[in-house]
């Protein structure tokens, strides 16, 4: 079961407000568009290990999608 679009927007707004106040926010998702739009730093985890660490500002969304779904 997922979160509806309106609720998701509210969650991201709250998370951004908290991050802007200095709180660390951990977002776990397999949706590249969410990562690309909302993350400041991206860690790609696979088989229990960090495989990639990058900034979403340094990669196109399509390339990020490829890393997430590899």
What was the pLDDT predicted at 26? 93
Locate the domains of the chain by residue range.
25-70
DSSP H helices, the chain, are: 5-20, 32-38, 61-68
Q: Name the pTM for this structure.
A: 0.74
What was the pLDDT predicted at 3? 82
What was the pLDDT predicted at 13? 94
Per-10-residue mean pLDDT of the chain, 70 residues long, equals: 84 95 92 90 92 92 89
What was the pLDDT predicted at 2? 76
Contacts of 62 (CB under 8 A, 6+ apart): 32
């Amino acid at each position: 079961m997922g979160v509806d679009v309106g609720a998701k927007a509210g969650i991201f707004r709250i998370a951004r407000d908290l991050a802007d106040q200095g709180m660390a926010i951990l977002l776990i998702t397999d949706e590249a568009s969410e990562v690309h739009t909302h993350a400041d730093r991206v860690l790609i985890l696979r088989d229990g290990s960090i495989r990639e660490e990058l900034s979403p500002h340094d990669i196109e969304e399509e390339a990020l999608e490829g890393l997430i779904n590899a």
